[in-house]
Amino acid sequence: MTYTTQMDAAKKGIITKEMEIVAKKENMDVVILRNLIEEGKVIIPANKNHKSLDPEGVGEGLRTKINVNLGISKDCCDVEKELEKVKVALEMKAEAIMDLSSYGKTEEFRKRTVEISPAMIGTVPMYDAVGFYDKELKDITAEEFLKVVEKHAEDGVDFVTIHAGLNRQTAEVFKRNKRLTNIVSRGGSLLYAWMELNNKENPFFEYYDQLLDICEKYDLTLSLGDACRPGSINDATDASQIQELMILGELTLRAWERNVQVMIEGPGHMAINEIPANVLIEKKLCHGAPFYVLGPIVTDVAPGYDHITSAIGGALAASHGVDFLCYVTPAEHLRLPNLEDMKEGIIATRIAAHAGDLGKNIKGAKQWDDAMSKARQQLDWPKMFELAIDPEKAIRYRKESIPAHEDSCTMCGKMCSMRNMNKIMEGKDLNMLREDD
């Protein structure tokens, strides 16, 4: 029996090789996984043209995945430097790479990334359109926007961010409800400008069926973008954000009718107390579709430390049911991240994802922490380094300050609680002041 997409296969009762791989990774019964894909609650972004892909699942009951944003821009257009970041991100176990290239050799970077990456690849075709056609934004036609999407699909990207929920109705709600930071989504702001300059409907909303044709052809997953995501604490959970989310829920059902896989993108900047309600609202309005968030960034006043503000929000969001976290680096709001920024962002986001998995009792999450705790109790330093989320940093810190006694560290020395409790529990004496025999 043939199938067009992972969702189509699931509806026909077919277990694909991608489902088998994901089920094994997640220690989940493959039939349960197939049922969740059929319901739209789990996706496996897997473009038919991405030959190097090692598939991952995103959604209910699965480990929280992380995405790393990369790409060339007009100010930083070195393809080789960005490809080096891709390789490091893959080494650091990112499950997704999102190519946000907006200038220069975008096609070369995209194709080379797809070729080498076992991680799923996402793009925002809207970013590429101006450079692809070498035309002013207002002069690009609806047909041309769709052609860029198809080009990205042909090149093998697994998911695309499409801001289809910013239609004329959403735009009117935005105009009537003043915001502190207006529209901060880059793709959303470009689409809003195009709509205003041409006095036309959002082409991705107006020609959504043609967009679905492309997605069905390549098994391209739709990441329905949040053009109206809040860019400040003040704008969170406002009328524009919720209006767009309602439209995205309707577009989700239309996509599922065509067996197109969908995830929903979310905020953004948001006070910590609003995060649980936002997850609940998305899951309700978008029918349980996987939720993909940037952050959320829980305060606006920490430029240079937004990997921390987002990790705080991301951990809470993941614990309440968010399925996919987009990393944020220390360079957020300031500049294009360099390699070290990227590393810090990845580690912070992986910590947030795992903390969320502990909170929602994902299978296998607690066992990792238990293994680390056991290694600490046994003062087994090699095992601690092996289990660390960032072994390189843990080893470096240990080497920078060598203790007099190998079974301790330079913070506690012979007062180490683990060391002393082990001795007492074994019925041994303590030699706090004497030299060891």
209, 71: one domain: yes
397 is annotated as contributing to ligand binding: no
124, 174: one domain: yes
128, 154: one domain: yes
Q: Look at residue 436 and tell me if it is in a domain.
A: no
**pLDDT for residue 188:** 96
Q: Look at residue 14 and tell me if it is in a domain.
A: yes
**pLDDT for residue 436:** 59
242, 386: one domain: no
269 is annotated as contributing to ligand binding: yes
* Rounded average pLDDT per 10-residue block, the chain, 437 residues: 96 98 98 98 98 98 97 83 95 96 88 97 93 90 97 98 98 98 96 98 98 98 98 98 98 98 97 98 98 97 98 98 98 93 97 98 97 95 96 94 83 87 89 67
127 is annotated as contributing to ligand binding: yes
Of 340, 359, 378, which one is at a domain's C-terminal end? 359
185 is annotated as contributing to ligand binding: yes
412 is annotated as contributing to ligand binding: yes
286 is annotated as contributing to ligand binding: no
**pLDDT for residue 1:** 84
Number of folded domains that form the chain? 2
**pLDDT for residue 3:** 97
229 is annotated as contributing to ligand binding: yes
- pTM tops 0.75, yes or no: yes
**pLDDT for residue 349:** 98
Q: Look at residue 417 and tell me if it is in a domain.
A: yes
373, 355: one domain: no
252, 341: one domain: yes
302, 170: one domain: yes
98 is annotated as contributing to ligand binding: yes
Q: Look at residue 431 and tell me if it is in a domain.
A: no
Q: Look at residue 433 and tell me if it is in a domain.
A: no
Q: Look at residue 24 and tell me if it is in a domain.
A: yes
376, 353: one domain: no
Of 307, 341, 359, which one is at a domain's C-terminal end? 359
228 is annotated as contributing to ligand binding: yes
Q: Are 230 and 238 in contact (CB under 8 A)?
A: yes
354, 417: one domain: no
Q: Look at residue 109 and tell me if it is in a domain.
A: yes
Q: Look at residue 208 and tell me if it is in a domain.
A: yes
76 is annotated as contributing to ligand binding: no
239, 343: one domain: yes
264, 374: one domain: no
255, 390: one domain: no
- Residue 430 neighbours by CB distance under 10 Å: 12
Q: What is the CATH number of the domain that holds 283?
A: 3.20.20.540
Identify the domain containing residue 399 by its residue range: 369-425
Of 359, 386, 417, which one is at a domain's C-terminal end? 359
